[in-house]
Amino acid sequence: MVNRTVRNLLIFAAVLLALGVGSTCRASAQVAVEWDNATCLECHSEPGFSTELPSGEDLDLTIDEDQWNRSIHAEWNMKCVFCHTEITAIPHDSPSFDNSREYAIRKSEACIVCHREQEVIEDSVHAQAREDGNDQAAVCSDCHDPHYTTDPPISHTAIPETCRSCHAEIYDQYTESVHGSALTEGNPDVPTCTDCHGVHEIAGPSRGTFHLFSPEICASCHADEELMGKYGIKTDVFSTYVADFHGRTITLFQEITPDQATNAPVCISCHGVHDIQSADEAGSTVAKENLLTTCQNCHPNADAAFPEAWMSHYSASPAEWPIVYYVRLFYRIVIPVVIGGMLIYITIDVTGRRRRRKAVQSV
């Protein structure tokens, strides 16, 4: 009897759960009291409304009602108390947190109730940093203002601005780079921070795997003929890299020993990262006059003739790298001629021997 009751309850719960999947967010956020937002905004739309935190910080509590109404959360008819679940009565107390940072970190739990798939996974460099005790590592609200966020949450061109709040130095480098300066001019084709680093699963760039697989990131645009065609940029940069010693090493590490570290250079090792310039630019790390210095990063004893050992993303042709071209041509001719000659000789030898053997037998 009891078992049946338990079973029925379980089935009932399962059905509820199944029905509730679409509205998990609201269901779980619902609390005993449910004020409409107007109740909250009575106080919180007041300009200059603020409170002093135990840390001494003055925390702005004002919500811009117009901006809130344009936000995606308002569009979804979200209520303030869905996230601010601690508000169970009005008037309410200041919640128990010491500073605004502590609150921002704690409050990201409210985001995850609905945005489970964006939950910062363990691999994320920000989550790792926070785990290591760095409070400044980004949480949801650092990038997405929960009250005013729209859909898409951050426009492509606004992404660098968002990351800038913590990575200002890199932002400054980026805006000077060939990619960043184009983005500033409104070019949507160039990569922003998240195109290379990822978003919520963002990995630390100093990790071996990021270094190892970074050429694929560059190739995703630079091997795209349609995209590069717009700018007259050659697309064989990746294939010529892979054909050379460095790229071959990286490719084999990727495929065979991705867990092992290698210092073989990837695109960014020579071209620069956030400060990357067009290779045609005089200031570029790969400009002819700077190339030796760049090589010397890894080959400290390299001499003036050394950079020429790298074929600069060219395939050998009579015009570019003629010696390489003619050496290859030599073997393309010599191998079939020599081996072909051997085979002809052997064929003649075999037929001669067979004929003589037959002659002996017939005698």
Span interacting with another protein, options 13-21, 46-54, 180-188, 190-198, rule CB under 8 A = 46-54
| CA angle (248, 301, 252) in 5-degree steps | 10
Q: Which residue reads 């109740």 in tokens?
A: 39
Cβ-based nearer residue to another protein, 7 or 355: 355
x/- site string to another protein, residues 282 to 321, per CB under 8 A? ---------------xxxxxxx-xxxxxxx----x----x
Nearer to another protein, 148 or 189 (CB): 148
Answer for the pair 35, 81: CB distance below 8 angstroms, yes or no.
Answer: yes
Among 2, 18, 32, 323, binds another protein (CB under 8 A): 323
Q: How far is CA 23 from the centre of its chain?
A: 31
Distance of alpha carbon 245 from alpha carbon 195, whole angstroms: 27
In the complex with another protein, which residue's Cβ is closer, 234 or 332? 332
In our burial notation (b when 16+ CB lie closer than 10 A, e otherwise), range 183-200 reads beeeeeebbbbbebbeeb
257 touching another protein, by CB under 8 A = yes
For 201, residues 6+ apart whose C-beta sits below 8 A from its C-beta are 121, 123, 124
Near another protein by CB under 8 A: residue from 19, 331, 357, 358: 331
Among 17-25, 115-123, 176-184, 247-255, the segment contacting another protein (CB under 8 A)? 247-255
State which of positions 153-172 bind another protein (CB under 8 A).
164-171
User: Distance between CA atoms of 195 and 216, rounded to whole angstroms?
Assistant: 12
Q: Longest Cα pair distance anywhere in the chain, in angstroms?
A: 124
Burial of 353 (0-12, 13-18, 19+ CB in 10 A): exposed
In the set 249, 279, 287, 290, which binds another protein (CB under 8 A)? 249
The stretch near another protein (CB under 8 A) out of 30-38, 113-121, 215-223, 237-245 is 237-245
Question: With respect to another protein, which residue has the nearer C-beta, 229 or 352?
Answer: 352
Q: End-to-end alpha-carbon separation of the chain, Å?
A: 106
Binding string, 182-221, against another protein, x = CB under 8 A?
Answer: -----------------------xx-x--x--x-------
Q: Does 342 bind another protein (CB under 8 A)?
A: yes
Does residue 152 have a cis peptide bond before it, meaning omega lies within 30 degrees of 0? Answer: yes
